[in-house]
Amino acid sequence: MVAPARPKIASSLPTSSEPLRRLETLRPRLEALTAERIRAESEVERLARDETAARAAAREIFGTDDPDAIGVMIEADQKRDHAAMENLEALLADIETRLAAASGE
């Protein structure tokens, strides 16, 4: 029995320099992606520090760092400010009315 002839593979394989050329063309893309990953990781670290600082400031100012609780506090302050403004407007109108009545006497 005769062994079957081996197919010629050498012609379909890349030359030895072709993979190196391809690798060199891919290197800048890899380096760019690596640099982008490093920048993104740095940004995540910076944002985590910023969040920690913001939460600490919120606890100092509002006594909590819960956004919903802070929102309720802000809403209550806005309602109180609105009521105080209406009271001030009423007081000013009353003073103007009294001044007009007094000057008309």
Of 48, 49, 67, 46, which is closest to residue 58 (Cα–Cα)? 67
- pTM over 0.85? The answer is no
**Secondary structure class of 105 (helix, strand, coil):** coil
11-to-8, 14, 15 alpha-carbon distances in Å: 7, 8, 9
* pLDDT tens string 41-90: 999 999 999 999 999 999 999 999 999 999 999 999 999 999 999 999 99
The predicted pLDDT at position 8 comes to 58
